[in-house]
């Protein structure tokens, strides 16, 4: 009788819990090469849920979490926000195509999106403050792609292929 509201509440909990976990993982004290290789956990979470639950996660959520990422990293306010919005736009634009692939091929298709988001972050920071220090700034693209593969593969095994559009 009330199975639909309980299922919807459970999916909201999973969605919010994963995004809160992503924000907390960004807070860990990364140093050295671990900092250079740190994936953008928040971006991976936002793009994952924008792909699988587009009615619940969209541009406003991406913008808000981007502002939070700016605050966490101590960078120009809006730098990650605009990049995350562009990333969500690209994922929504390619959504039907991406959903046809297994996690490995999804990760390969998302690599250019992660690269575009990172380049927007670097360009916004360069225009506002100072130029990037080197190509090591692009290493999070690789680690975010690997993280996508791991997360999407795990959730596909856990929930099955039809994770999307469960409201």
Give 166's DSSP letter. -
Compute the distance between CA of residue 79 and CA of residue 66 in angstroms, rounded to an integer.
8
DSSP 2-34: -HHHHHHHHHHHHHHHHHHHHHHHHHS---HHH
Residues of the chain where predicted confidence (pLDDT) is lower than 50: 1, 166-167
Query: What pLDDT, on a 0 to 100 scale, did the predictor assign at position 5?
Result: 63
pLDDT (tens digit, 9 = 90+) per residue, 101-148?
A: 999 999 999 999 999 999 999 999 899 887 777 788 899 999 999 999
Contacts of residues 119-128 at CB distance under 8 Å and 24 or more positions apart, as own/partner, are 120/82, 120/83, 120/86, 121/79, 121/80, 121/83, 124/76, 124/78, 124/79, 124/82, 124/83, 125/75, 125/76, 125/79, 128/76, 128/79
Give the residue from 111, 88, 84, 82 showing the smallest Cα distance to 23: 84
Query: What pLDDT, on a 0 to 100 scale, did the predictor assign at position 164?
Result: 56
Query: What pLDDT, on a 0 to 100 scale, did the predictor assign at position 167?
Result: 43
């Amino acid at each position: 009788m009330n199975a639909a509201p309980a299922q919807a509440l459970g999916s909201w909990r999973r969605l919010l819990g994963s995004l809160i976990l992503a924000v907390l993982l960004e807070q860990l004290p990364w140093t050295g090469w671990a900092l250079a290789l740190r994936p953008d956990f928040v971006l991976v979470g936002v793009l994952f849920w924008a792909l699988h639950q587009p009615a619940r996660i969209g541009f406003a959520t991406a913008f808000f979490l981007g502002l939070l990422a700016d605050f966490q990293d101590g960078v120009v306010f809006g730098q990650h926000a605009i990049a995350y919005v562009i990333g969500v736009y690209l994922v929504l634009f390619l959504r039907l195509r991406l959903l046809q692939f297994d996690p490995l091929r999804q990760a390969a298709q998302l690599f250019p999106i992660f690269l575009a988001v990172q380049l927007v972050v670097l360009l916004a920071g360069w225009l506002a403050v100072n130029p990037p220090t080197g190509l090591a700034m692009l290493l999070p693209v690789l680690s975010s792609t690997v993280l996508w593969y791991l997360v999407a593969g795990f959730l596909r095994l856990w929930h099955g292929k039809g994770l999307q559009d469960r409201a």
